[in-house]
Amino acid sequence: GRISAAGASYAEDLMSELRTAVGPEIELMIDAHGNFDVSTATELCNRMMKFDLTWFEEPLQPESLDAHRQLRSNTDINLCIGERKYTRWDFAPYLQEGLVNYIMPDICWTGGISEMKRIAILAETYYVPISPHDASGAFNVITGAHVLMNVPNIYRLEMSDHSLENYNSVITSPLDIRNGQLYLPDKPGLGYELDHDFINSHPDPEWARLHN
């Protein structure tokens, strides 16, 4: 889709205020959730260049390789994609053609730890960092962290801080987060266990309807 001239100006003003407020040392990113067409994405990416963003995430819908080629040829901003890609073969052409600077696969969509690690290793051959996507809870974060512990091209582990209480409620011991870093326990497997009592006492209404 497109954005109005007023909307684009508002976005530019907002990023200017953010950059001024946090200074040059703090990393800023934008996530567009694939909302724009090529011309709009190109305009916005170029307007954001002056704010030294770490990345502009998903300016386009993820399905069209040609659209990403057009965008890449018309902007130098760092681009990030991946939360809606599934296998290493989905990522391969974007890496081979230099269309992205970061990838953000979601371990729930890639099929688990093994495929995400293969994706990370593929990205490493092109010197592209990986930042696992998080939108699905504690074990999304935990499994993504285990992959990052075993690959060289680690960038960041995404996690929603406002969801931390909910994440901790479904595991028997809370995530060990100190100074913005997640520390994994020295235990077998993933190192965490589901709190079955909590889960059984908080059934999803739709799941309960289908299974009762």
Among the four given CATH numbers 3.50.50.60, 3.20.20.120, 3.65.10.10, 3.40.50.300, the one describing domain 5-211: 3.20.20.120
Note whether 29 and 53 are within 8 A (CB). Answer: yes
Structure tokens of 196? 């079955």
Q: Model pTM?
A: 0.89
Digit-coded pLDDT (tens) for 126-176: 999 999 998 888 899 999 999 999 999 999 999 877 778 888 998 999 999
Q: How many helices (H) and strands (E) does the chain have?
A: 10, 6
38-48 vs 5-22: helix crossing angle, rounded to 10:
30
The Cα 208–Cα 72 span in angstroms is 46
Query: How do the domains of the chain map onto residue ranges?
Result: 5-211
Phi-psi region of 178 (alpha: psi -120 to 50; beta: other; left: phi over 0): beta
Digit-coded pLDDT (tens) for 77-117: 999 999 999 999 999 999 999 999 999 999 999 989 999 99
Instruction: Report, as an integer, the average pLDDT of 15-34.
Output: 95
